[in-house]
Amino acid sequence: MAAVRCTGPEKFELLFRRRVQTCPDDLPRQPFHAVAEEGMPKSTIERVRAAAARLAGDAVAEAIRDAGAVSAAGVAMGRTVLPTDLDRILSSHALLHSAEGELYRDALSEAAGDAGLRVVRFLNKEVRSEAAGALGWPLERLEAWLVEAGKVAGKPWTRDEKDASAAAMLALAVTLPR
C-alpha cells in the first residue's frame, strides 16, 4: 500500500508505504485452494473474506491516519470474470487463483469505499502506463519518478512498491480537477 500526495502542479511526493497483511496467520492464505484441494469446509472462504475485510479496513485507516488527507485509492483488478457458482470455481485451478486474488482486491476496494475514498480500479500489469496516461506524462517520466521515489523511500523498493505508488498516482490523477 502506498500513499502519494500532490504538492503542486505535477509535483508528487511519496508519503506512506506499508506491506498490507490481508490474511491472519491462523487462516489459509489461499482459501479456495484449501477448500478444493485440502478438504477444508466451504465456510473457510467466508472466514478468510471476513478477516481480509477487517485487516483491509485497518490498513486503510492506518494509511489515512499516517498519510493525512487521503482522497482516493487505486486497487488492481483481475482480467478473469468469475462465475457465481462456487462449485465451478472450485473445479478449476486457474479459477481458484483468480478467486483468491479477487477476494483480497475486493476487501481493499470495499475498505477504501467505506472510508469515503474514491476507488479507481485498474489492470495490474497496466498500472504504470495508465498512471502516466492519466497524468499526461510519457511513461519514461513516471518511471524516472519511481526511481527517485525509491531512492528517498529506501529498500526494499520492489515492483510491488513501485506499482502501488503508480496506482496511488493514478487514483490521484483521476480525482484531481483539471
Pure H helices in 115-158: 127-135, 139-153
Residues contacting residue 131 through CB under 8 Å, at least 6 positions apart = 142, 166, 167, 169, 170, 173
Q: Mean pLDDT score of the chain, rounded to an integer?
A: 89
Mean pLDDT of 84-109: 96
For 143, half-sphere exposure in the C-beta direction (CA atoms, 13 angstrom radius) is 4
- The CA distance from 57 to 113, in Å, is 10
Percent of the chain surpassing pLDDT 90: 54
Structure confidence at residue 99 (pLDDT) = 97
Q: With bands split at pLDDT 50, 70 and 90, how would you rate the model's confidence at 78?
A: confident
Q: With bands split at pLDDT 50, 70 and 90, how would you rate the model's confidence at 24?
A: very high
What is the tens place of the pLDDT at every residue in 159-175?
888 888 898 888 888 87
Mean pLDDT of 12-31: 89
Q: Of residues 133 and 8, which shows the higher confidence score?
A: 133
Structure confidence at residue 177 (pLDDT) = 63
End-to-end CA distance of the chain: 26
Structure confidence at residue 67 (pLDDT) = 79
Q: Could you tell me the CA-to-CA distances from 139 to 1, 144, 145, 146, 172 in Å, in that order?
A: 21, 9, 10, 11, 17
Contact 111, 57 (CB under 8 A): yes
Q: Which three cell numbers stand for residue 29?
A: 492464505
Percent of the chain surpassing pLDDT 70: 93
Q: Of residues 102 and 66, which shows the higher confidence score?
A: 102
Q: Inform me whether the pLDDT recorded for 6 exceeds 80.
A: no
Structure confidence at residue 1 (pLDDT) = 67
- Ordered by where they begin, the domains of the chain are 2-175 (3.30.420)
